[in-house]
Amino acid sequence: MTQEMIVLEKINKSFSGVPVINNLSFMVHQGEILGFLGPNGSGKTTTIRLLNGVITPDSGRLTVAGFNPVTAGDEVRKRCGVLTESAAFYGPMTARENLLFFADLYAVATPTRRVDELLHACGLTPHADKKVAVFSTGMKKRLGIAKALLHQPEILFLDEPTTGLDPEGARTLLDYIQELNRRFGVTIILATHLLKQVETLCHRFIFIDQGRLLADGTFAELAEKYLTAINLQVETDLEITGTEFQGFPLEKNTPGFLQFKVERKEQIPFLLKALLASGSVYSAQIYGRDLETLYFRIKEEKA
């Protein structure tokens, strides 16, 4: 985490008078995997377009790999690989023809070899010579990923890369992303709604809503700040009446399971000891220390 690869400073963008990005500032370090999160229409795709110089901001400053996408767009685009929902391929051409075409645009040195390599890596080899028009959603997505990787970019923008992929496809892709990051230090911006998938993959998270930055930090930092209370679910034979047990408030009480609210995790051993003193505990599990809870907590807090 040394150099700043991407910097946004007070970016504003509106479409026909409607503001979509509002004073947005954040940065991404070299070699980082950034989870870029926010509800539908919050401006994630717009931000990715701005960073690639496809659209220009109304005000503010952008830097990507040391270049300004507005004035040196092609330098930026040479270094970036992009997958977005809205960018399509040529239907009457096969997967291979599409990739070879883009290999020319991206000045790939050994196109045939690189294309074969990526077709294989993305599991498209059996479909390489089918027309893209007949591709399923997931196959198109795989092709999009292959295109994004053609020129071995330093920065990878992935806009909902796993939506529409089958579970094994999603798993393979996420592993592959991680490997690209580890082996080649590729900086990755990952916009997604599938929070579970990226919880452990991303080094840091940015939350935006209505084009505004809501939160920015590692999972631990954000959890520290927003996940103040812990929910502990205990599987036990103990039956309790009332709303608390030895000072620990009871959140949920279902046969065989009790859910407690704990202020700090240091209190957990004391709760467990108290429970064991009066009954059996078969399992204990922390609830709500995940990205999804974090997402909702941040949205609530900032609403």
Ligand X SMILES: Nc1ncnc2c1ncn2[C@@H]1O[C@H](COP(=O)(O)OP(=O)(O)OP(=O)(O)O)[C@@H](O)[C@H]1O
* Contacting positions for Mg ion (CB under 5 A): 45
Answer for which of 8, 11, 42, 63 binds ligand X (CB under 6 A) is: 42
Q: Which two tokens stand for residue 36?
A: 């870029």
From 44-52, 96-104, 225-233, 266-274, span contacting ligand X (CB under 6 A): 44-52
From 35-43, 231-239, 269-277, 285-293, span contacting ligand X (CB under 6 A): 35-43
CB count in 10 Å sphere of residue 70: 14
Per CB under 6 A, does 141 bind ligand X?
no
DSSP states of 207-265? EEETTEEEEEE-HHHHHHHH--SEEEEEEES----SSEETTEEEEEEETTEEEEEESSG
How far apart CA 119 and CA 106 sit, in angstroms, is 17
Amino acid at 200: T
Name the one residue in this structure whose structure tokens are 């970036």.
Answer: 80
Q: Is 285 left (phi over 0), alpha (psi -120 to 50) or beta?
A: beta
Per CB under 8 A, does 107 bind another protein?
yes
- Shortest distance (Å) from residue 160 CB to Mg ion: 7
From 40-48, 97-105, 128-136, 258-266, span contacting ligand X (CB under 6 A): 40-48
Contacts to another protein from residues 45-64, by CB under 8 A = 49, 52-56
Per CB under 8 A, does 114 bind another protein?
no
User: Distance between alpha carbon 78 and the CA centroid of its chain, in Å?
Assistant: 23
Is the Cβ–Cβ distance between 125 and 99 less than 8 Å?
A: no
Per CB under 8 A, does 78 bind another protein?
yes
Per CB under 8 A, does 87 bind another protein?
yes
Contacts to another protein from residues 215-274, by CB under 8 A = none
Is the Cβ–Cβ distance between 34 and 205 less than 8 Å?
A: yes
- Shortest distance (Å) from residue 188 CB to ligand X: 17
Cβ-based nearer residue to Mg ion, 40 or 243: 40
Is the Cβ–Cβ distance between 192 and 198 less than 8 Å?
A: yes
Cβ-based nearer residue to ligand X, 46 or 94: 46
- Shortest distance (Å) from residue 126 CB to ligand X: 30
- Shortest distance (Å) from residue 159 CB to another protein: 11
From 36-44, 96-104, 261-269, 275-283, span contacting another protein (CB under 8 A): 96-104
> In the stretch 2-21, what mask flags binding to ligand X with x, by CB under 6 A?
-------------x----x-
How far apart CA 244 and CA 147 sit, in angstroms, is 57
Closest by CA to 33, choosing from 141, 163, 160, 181, is: 181
Answer for which of 1, 2, 17, 40 binds ligand X (CB under 6 A) is: 40
Per CB under 6 A, does 233 bind ligand X?
no
Per CB under 8 A, does 74 bind another protein?
yes
Please name the helix (run of DSSP H) or strand (run of DSSP E) that holds residue 37, with its range, or none.
strand 33-37
DSSP state of 158: E
Cβ-based nearer residue to another protein, 89 or 248: 89
20: partner contacted, choices Mg ion, another protein, ligand X, none (Cβ within 5-8 A by kind):
ligand X
Per CB under 8 A, does 72 bind another protein?
no
How far apart CA 158 and CA 145 sit, in angstroms, is 8
Is the Cβ–Cβ distance between 143 and 132 less than 8 Å?
A: yes
